[in-house]
Amino acid sequence: MNIVLGAIADDFTGATDLAGTWVKEGVKTVQTVGVPDAGTGIGDAEAVVVALKSRTAPVGEAVDRSLEALQWLREAGARQIVFKYCSTFDSTEKGNIGPVADALADALGAEFALVCPAFPTNGRTIYRGYLHVGDMLLAESPMKDHPLTPMRDSSLVRLMAAQSQGRVGLVPLQVVSAGVEAIRSRISALKADGVRYGVIDAVADADLRVIGEAAADHGLVTGGSGIGMGLPENFRKSGLLSAGSGPALPETAGREVVLAGSCSAATRAQIAAVDDIWPARKLDPDGLAAGPGEVGDAIAWALDQPADAPVLVYASAGPEEVSAVQARYGVERAGRMIESAFERIAAALAENGFSRIVVAGGETAGAVVSALGATALRIGPEIAPGVPWTETVGGRPLALALKSGNFGRETFFADAFGMLP
Ligand code: ADP
């Protein structure tokens, strides 16, 4: 194990976002599901992104998990740590961004860390320390009404100061525009003033690259996935990182299956595009409620299909059918029942030669990943924006594509398998 870059992400899709950024920069990147065990293999990874679920967890828990992740990353050799949070700075008055940043900075002995959630490609820009979402200030954007982390202030300086122990200062855009040396001397001045966190303006990817270069000797950098962009180049210059290679597809051979639990319009259209071409079976929620027979039948059916085409097992249904099922069993029980069916189906099929698995649905994917015991995923090329092929490392080799419900065009399932050798 000899990684150079380590990251701690406060949720799973955020982790994938940063991992994808590094893969695009030519860095071999693995994403782990939670804090890895001592024995978790990461293959030849140069960067590891630990995906936590700490965004809205109790503060103490978020801090503890983040410190565990940090310890693992340092033992694996990471020379620079990124604390990755959402580009809309999703947090409450108490945290968890501030307290986690404090704990990581203390543990690393970092006197100073940048705060930069900017993600210009997605319209998240920072000017004069104020975070914008498209044409709106953060606190005027729909984020003001978020159910868990409503953002009612747009000033990152104030937000960070309210959550963290350290003093917070600003590196304004004119300094960023003046280049690497200007940024470094502004940071030195802030440090001399006892400032621990520097919110830094960025309105374009070019700004993020300059900022990344200026942060070459920072032990801790905090921000969105964009802040990751400029960091690998520093390690290339110092010879610690390979020249960079395109992401490799999974090499896992075996039978192919789609497990679809998302009821989104996109997923239903993707199902409709293949369900009369490939063997397809819809799970019956009433059958699932009645006992284990429905799952057993679905597994036996899948194993019985010709091995030369992908197999599709889905629960996805239109809004009326979903409401009826939810009325009969309750929203939570219906969801859980179907997710646990996919857990058992995935485990059984993976035991029996199915090793290329596409999962549609965020919750469904979470359930399937844990049922398969996947703890680390090497990130490969994208099938659609935001959805890469991944390959499990350590343990049983599986090719996994985990698609959030609404992602991908109609031909996504065939596109995915079509990419594999
Ligand atoms: P998405 O990414 O589209 O939100 P998820 O997998 O996160 O997809 O969520 C879909 C939820 O709907 C899951 O809990 C799944 O078990 C549930 N579900 C799937 N099919 C049905 C159905 N026919 N009736 C009721 N709930 C369903």
Q: Is the CB of 335 under 6 A from ligand 1?
A: yes
Ligand 1 atom closest to the CA of 338, numbered from 1 = 16
DSSP state of 414: H
CA dist 248 to 124, 142, 157, 245, 381, Å? 30, 38, 40, 8, 7
Q: What is the DSSP string of 218-236?
A: -SEEEESGGGGTTHHHHHH
Q: Is the CB of 316 under 6 A from ligand 1?
A: yes
State if residue 154 touches ligand 1 by the CB under 6 angstroms criterion: no
Q: How much is the mean pLDDT over the chain?
A: 94
Question: Residue 1 — very low, low, confident or very high, per pLDDT cuts 50/70/90?
Answer: low
The residues, ordered by sequence, that sit 6+ positions from 357 with a Cβ below 8 Å of its Cβ are 256, 257, 258, 259, 346, 349, 350, 368, 372, 398, 399, 400, 401
How far is Cα 234 from Cα 332, in angstroms, rounded to an integer? 47
User: Quick check: CB of 54 below 6 Å from ligand 1?
Assistant: no
Does 285 sit in the ligand 1 pocket, CB within 6 Å? yes
- H/E stretch holding 31 reads strand 29-33
Q: Does 7 score more than 80 pLDDT?
A: yes
Give residue-wise pLDDT tens across range 300-348: 999 999 999 999 999 999 999 999 999 999 988 999 999 999 999 999 9
**Given this structure, which CATH class describes domain 255-419?**
alpha beta
Is residue 334 lining ligand 1, measured as CB closer than 6 Å? yes
The domains of the chain are located at: 5-237, 255-419
Contact (CB, 8 A) for 4 and 219 = no
Q: How far is the CA of 335 from the centre of ligand 1 (A)?
A: 6
Q: Do domains 5-237 and 255-419 have the same CATH topology?
A: no
C-beta 339 within 6 A of ligand 1: yes
CB of 368 closer than 6 angstroms to any ligand 1 atom: no
What pLDDT is stored for residue 346 in this prediction?
98
Query: In CATH, what number does 5-237 get?
Result: 3.40.50.10840
3 state DSSP class of 287: helix
Alpha-carbon distance of 420 to 411, in angstroms, equals 15
pLDDT of residue 148: 82
Ligand 1: distance of its center to the CA of 345 in Å?
A: 16
Q: How many CA atoms lie within 13 A of 85 on its CB side?
A: 26
* pTM value surpassing 0.95: no
Cα of 410 vs centre of ligand 1, distance in Å, is: 18
**pLDDT (tens digit, 9 = 90+) per residue, 361-419?**
988 998 999 899 999 999 999 999 888 999 999 878 999 999 888 888 999 999 999 99
Nearest CA to ligand 1 atom 24: 322
CA of 315 to the centre of ligand 1 (A): 8
> What distance in Å separates the CA atoms of residue 339 and residue 351, rounded to the nearest whole number?
18
Q: Are strands 354-360 and 255-260 parallel, antiparallel or unpaired?
A: parallel
Query: CA-CA distances (angstroms) from residue 290 to 260, 286, 287, 401?
Result: 21, 6, 5, 31
Q: Which two tokens stand for residue 347?
A: 């485990």
